[in-house]
Structure 1
Amino acid sequence: MATHDVLVIDPSTLFRQGLRQLLPQDFRVVSEARDVEAARAELSAPTPNDISGAKPSGRSVALVLFDVTDAGEFRAAANQLHSLFPEARLVYLTNGFDAPRLRMALEAGIDGYLTKDRSSNALIQSLHLVMLGEKVFPSDLALLLTQQNHTGSVGAGSPHKGLSMRETQILRALVKGESNKVIANGLHITEATVKVHLKSLLRKINCNNRTQAAIWALNNGLTEATPTAGAA
């Protein structure tokens, strides 16, 4: 089993230490810090036993689990982490959730938004999904944003902005952070077909990428399940 080097950033020392003990062997915590700046200093400082100053570089960290003291710091922290650890998966692990932070997480390209009240097994399972390339966001978080920005319910068989039923299904899958492979398996179509539909729906809703499309879908109430029968 592959081992993933993990950086934990959280204001609480107790939480950081507890998480280090909680994670299984395939998630190796190589460093922990109270905030992004402290993490930068920790990873760049030489250790007493290493005169070369070698430390895990930004590229060697595979996963960053982070929280911020103030929600207003989220966007800046996410941007810094992307810059410091361009190859790492970023997971926002925090207390509770709200629509503004979900929107910022989607826009910032975060790989996961997880809450600290989940069980250890659920957390570990979610982290494994993230490392497989999935986007992991709580389903009730999507519902919260939809309720806040709801502009009209879209019926299961009613295309919106000229979207076909299949395109609507794929949009809903994007909201859940599903990859093309997962979408294809769920809809019993090929990944190539998913890509064709995705290109078409992005053009129709005037979005440039999957993240923008997911935000558009949330803002337009596209979160309810859609039957697959008859979809092309």
Structure 2
Amino acid sequence: MSEVNTLLIGRNRLFLEGLKSLLRGSSFNVCGEALCVGAIEETDAPAGLVLIELRDDLSGVVEDLHQLREDLPETPVVVLTDERDPRTLASCLNAGAAAFLLKDISLEALIHSLKLALLGQKVMPTDLAAALINGAAGLQPVGGKGVESYGLSDRELEILRCLVNGDANKVIANRLDITEATVKVHMKSLLRKIKAGNRTQAAIWALNHGLAPGLPFGKTDRAAVAAPAAKEVVMSQMMG
């Protein structure tokens, strides 16, 4: 893959220098470093990926993620953390994070996970993904209401599973053999029915209501699953 300009945001210089050293020689070229989102400086090379260290103050991180989504709407943001709380994971994903990776990940797995994030996949630790599927994150408590009570059509349920996979509209259209315009119509309808504000919230809702990924491939956009383990690590983090 071609070189990706990468912006690093961390709580201290030592962490930033260590991460920068680890990425040296990879396809992720560090184009900038900052101790907080407010300290980001404009550079001639726009970032294609952002790596941000999770702070102790979760509300602050959520604010940072919202700010990054506003400033860099097309740039995937990957959270690096020691935190294993599924609620923290859910909050970060809900705020726009593309991936939630633990700091004890191996360098090989980190690079692979970053590539998956660039492909639009959601990457996270396996145990936390399981907690989301079991409804432990608490963002959208099921409260006894089954999925059937929301009035979702079979097609909308298929699209929800595609969202859990991290699929873009084009990929969903190819998988289900429908047009992108039709995908958008169904998407608008299902978001309204489950009261989700965006695709990420819908994917989290689907996980909390037991809709795990696994829709069979139809007409597939092969570029979206180019990584050999992509389907297996959409909801998990490769640990080295």
- Give the TM-score, by structure 1 length: 0.72
Given the alignment of the two structures, is residue 109 of structure 1 paired with residue 110 of structure 2, yes or no? no
Within the candidate set 191, 206, 212, 1:223 is matched to: 212
1:170 aligns with 2:156: no
In structure 2, the residue matched to 1:189 is 177
Q: In the alignment, residue 209 of structure 2 is paired with which amino acid?
A: N
Say whether the 8 Å CA contact 2:121–2:165 is kept in structure 1. Answer: no
Match of 2:231 in 1: none
Equivalenced residues, count? 210
Bigger RCO of structures 1 and 2 (CA < 8 A, at least 6 apart): 2
Distance verdict in 2 for CA 1:99–1:184, change over 3 Å: same
1:29 paired residue number: 30
TM-score (norm. length: structure 2): 0.70
Give the partner amino acid of 2:129.
A
Matches within 5 A, 1:21-100: 21-23=21-23, 24-37=25-38, 39-40=39-40, 43=41, 56=43, 60-72=46-58, 73-100=60-87
Instruction: Identify the residue that residue 131 of structure 1 maps to in structure 2.
Output: 118
Shift of 1:28: 0.7
Unaligned ranges ≥5, structure 1: 44-54
Q: Residues 224 and 85 (structure 1 numbering): CA distance in 2 closer, same or farther, change over 3 Å?
A: closer
Counterpart in the other structure of 2:9? 9
Give the alignment's Cα RMSD to 1 decimal.
Answer: 3.3
Contact map agreement 1:96 1:116 (CA 8 A) in 2: no
- Answer yes or no: is the 8 Å Cα contact 1:4–1:63 preserved in 2: yes
What is the alpha-carbon distance in structure 2 between the residues aligned to residue 164 and residue 80 of structure 1?
35
Unmatched runs of 5 consecutive residues or more in structure 2: 218-240
Paired with 1:160 and 1:69, the residues of 2 have a C-alpha distance of 38
Deviation at 1:93, TM superposition (A): 1.4
Percent of matched pairs sharing the same residue = 45
User: How far 1:63 sits from its partner (Å)?
Assistant: 1.4
Q: 1:139 to 1:102 in 2, by over 3 A?
A: same
Do the aligned partners of 1:159 and 1:168 also contact (CA within 8 Å) in 2?
no
Partner of 1:49 in structure 2?
none
Specify the structure having the higher radius of gyration (Cα).
Answer: 1
Would you say the 8 A contact 1:71–1:101 is kept in 2?
no
CA-CA distance at 1:146 after TM superposition: 3.9
Contact 1:142 1:175 in 2 (8 A): no
